């Protein structure tokens, strides 16, 4: 029953975050959240703290206005004191030059008593970097 409740909460969370309202993710985060968006792109990051997490989301939606993230799968393991949640996301937006952007990501989250304590995101960083170049946020690599 616990896993079903967590899955339902995660789906509800991603409906909001996926349409641009990231405040529920901030509210669910532990004040000492460890966040790691893998890679070396303009939005890759590794930090600790809820405030930095909020700033990261602000930057993400500033770079990609209209960004949409749709949860396609969710797996929950563990118990309230040590829960692992893995989600698969489909990411889309229209870039400033009118081309469509689509990517996929996997998020690996650790939770403790309903609070997100760590969040690791794995996305196709080559596709992301190409999109960032089109958005004018990084210089193309030689």
Q: Decide if 142 is inside a domain.
A: no
User: pLDDT, tens digit, for every residue of 100-137?
Assistant: 999 999 999 999 999 999 999 999 999 999 999 999 88
User: pLDDT, tens digit, for every residue of 88-99?
Assistant: 999 999 999 999
Residue 79 predicted with pLDDT over 50: yes
Range of the domain at 56: 2-134
Q: Decide if 141 is inside a domain.
A: no
Q: Decide if 140 is inside a domain.
A: no
The CATH number of the domain where 15 resides is what?
3.10.450.50
Q: How many domains does the chain have?
A: 1
Under 8 Å between Cβ of 31 and 120: no
């Amino acid at each position: 029953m616990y896993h079903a409740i967590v899955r339902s909460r995660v789906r509800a969370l991603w409906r909001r975050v996926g349409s641009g309202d990231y405040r529920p993710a901030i509210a669910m985060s532990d004040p000492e959240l460890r966040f790691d968006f893998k890679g070396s792109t303009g939005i890759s990051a590794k930090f600790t703290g809820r405030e930095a997490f909020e700033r990261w989301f602000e930057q993400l939606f500033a770079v990609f206005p209209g960004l949409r993230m749709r949860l396609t799968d969710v797996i929950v393991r563990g118990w309230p004191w040590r829960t692992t949640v893995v989600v698969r996301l489909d990411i889309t937006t229209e870039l400033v030059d009118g081309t469509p952007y689509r990517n996929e990501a996997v998020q690996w989250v650790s939770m403790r008593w309903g609070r997100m304590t760590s969040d690791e995101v794995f996305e196709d960083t080559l596709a992301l970097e190409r999109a960032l170049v089109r958005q004018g946020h990084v210089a193309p690599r030689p």
